[in-house]
Amino acid sequence: KKYDDGPQEWLEELLVSRARTSQRIDIAEPGFIDEDFLVNLLNAASTNSSLRHFAFVVQNVEASPSAKVTACANSVLNSCPLLKEVDIAGCRVGYADSLRIPARAFDAIRLRRCDQNFAVFSPTFVRVKNVSVDWPVVPDLQTFNSCLAACQN
């Protein structure tokens, strides 16, 4: 096969096939990636039984991921049994139409520059060894205490 033909289809096929077996997947700027390719990649990743780290990073909020891509990213978060580290930046988290952290044990969750629904963090919701919330600041002391209690082992 000639690898200089077409719109890099061979590379897309390689990346999708690797998403099924990789232990780490980092996706940056999903709003700038071809949606069909990204959906295929995330659907492949959601079948990955060895995925341990998943990052979904949006720097440019004007190019936020579509609802379809967000649903596929949620499938990865919910379907990969060995997933232990989650890094999310620049996204909505915890709302009905956004990324949702599943209720299970993680080694680390890092939320950066996210519009977070802190109400979803309850003491029985998520068990995390290390949680990092870089921004925005938690809205009030009661919510902050609830969030801390939710993340304790």
Q: With 60 as the cut, is the pLDDT of residue 137 above it?
A: no
User: pLDDT higher for 74 or 121?
Assistant: 74
**Contact present, 76 and 109 (Cβ < 8 Å):** no
Residue 125's pLDDT is what? 53
Number of domains making up the chain = 1
Inside any domain, residue 94 = yes
User: pLDDT higher for 150 or 27?
Assistant: 27
Q: Tell me the per-residue pLDDT of 25-72, one tens digit each, with 9 for 90 and over.
A: 999 999 888 999 999 999 999 999 999 999 999 988 777 899 999 999
Inside any domain, residue 91 = yes
Directed axis angle between helix 35-45 and helix 67-79, to 10°? 10
11 vs 70: CA distance, rounded Å: 23
Mean local confidence (pLDDT), 137-141: 63
Q: Tell me the per-residue pLDDT of 74-109, one tens digit each, with 9 for 90 and over.
A: 999 999 999 999 999 988 888 888 998 887 888 888
Determine the structural domain holding residue 85 and report its residue range. 9-150
Amino acid at 119: A
Inside any domain, residue 73 = yes
- CATH assignment at residue 86: 3.80.10.10
Residue 1's pLDDT is what? 47
Least confident segment among 6-10, 41-45, 122-126, 129-133: 122-126
Structure tokens at 152: 């304790």
Residue 124's pLDDT is what? 44
Inside any domain, residue 4 = no
**Contact present, 134 and 113 (Cβ < 8 Å):** yes
Inside any domain, residue 96 = yes
Residue 76's pLDDT is what? 97
Inside any domain, residue 3 = no
- For 26, phi then psi, to 5°, come to -120, 120
10 vs 20: CA distance, rounded Å: 16
Pairing of strands 53-57, 24-28: parallel
DSSP class of residue 138?
Answer: P
Inside any domain, residue 83 = yes
Whole-prediction pTM: 0.80
Query: CA angle at residue 141 from 131 to 124, to 5 degrees?
Result: 50
